[in-house]
Amino acid sequence: MRDKRDAEAAPAPDGGVGVHAYAPDEVVRINLRIAGMPYRGVARAHRDVDGRRAYNLFLWPRPDLAPHGWYWFDEARMTRRDYRRPEP
């Protein structure tokens, strides 16, 4: 059974349409739960769909086994820290 605190998976974009990829120095870190397990994620990209934001996350602590992919952002289920530099 799915834990109510788990992040909700988002569908991958068709052909990368509307995706904003992050540069290596743009770090957006997100803490979340998937299948009841806590993960620390780093966003590789984001996209906005119908007023919702989905992040493409690379997850730790076990990158070889973690369920990397697209997840809808939800303030109630996730903690986001944005370390990107503000635009001038």
pLDDT in tens, 31-88: 999 989 999 999 999 999 999 999 999 999 887 888 999 999 999 999 999 998 776 6
The span from the CA of 29 to the CA of 15, in Å, is 25
pLDDT in tens, 3-18: 789 999 999 998 877 9
> What ranges do the domains of the chain cover?
14-82
Tell if the pTM clears 0.95, that is, is over it: no
CATH classification code of 14-82: 2.30.30
